[in-house]
Amino acid sequence: CKRCVLRMDHHCPWANNCVGHENYKAFVLFLFYTTLAGVHASVLIVARIIAFVRRRESLLEANTAGMALVIVFILILLPTVVSVASLLTWHGYLIMKNATTIEHMESARWQYVKKTPWRSVYNINW
């Protein structure tokens, strides 16, 4: 994005903005409230399914459009909630480690480089 940001964490393509020192709290709160809303919607959908099962209606008597909508919500909502909750968990871990995503990835890369056997072609072992 060609911007210098203090303590840059990552560039968010959906918001077209860099997440850094100034807006990291807003980003984490967005993840938290999105996860909370997704869990709330999931609970409501599960309650609807339980009510449907308790009535023991046949599929012909049931509101098939309503149940189709519930199934579509399940297919879209569950992967989304799991993904956003995973991202929230990841950033919670980074907050506890006092690191950014970039810092964590760089440290992981350098730990890998340290472990790999590497010899300089200019080293003649003097």
Residue 31, C-beta contacts closer than 8 angstroms, at least 6 positions apart: 84, 87, 88, 91
- Cα angle 102, 19, 91 (rounded to 5 degrees) comes to 60
CA angle (71 as vertex; 70, 74 as ends), nearest 5? 90
Closest CA to 100 of 33, 18, 42, 43: 18
Q: Active-site residues: which are they? A: 12
The values of phi and psi at residue 41, to 5°, are -65, -35
Q: Which residues on neighbouring strands pair with residue 12, listed in sequence order?
A: 17
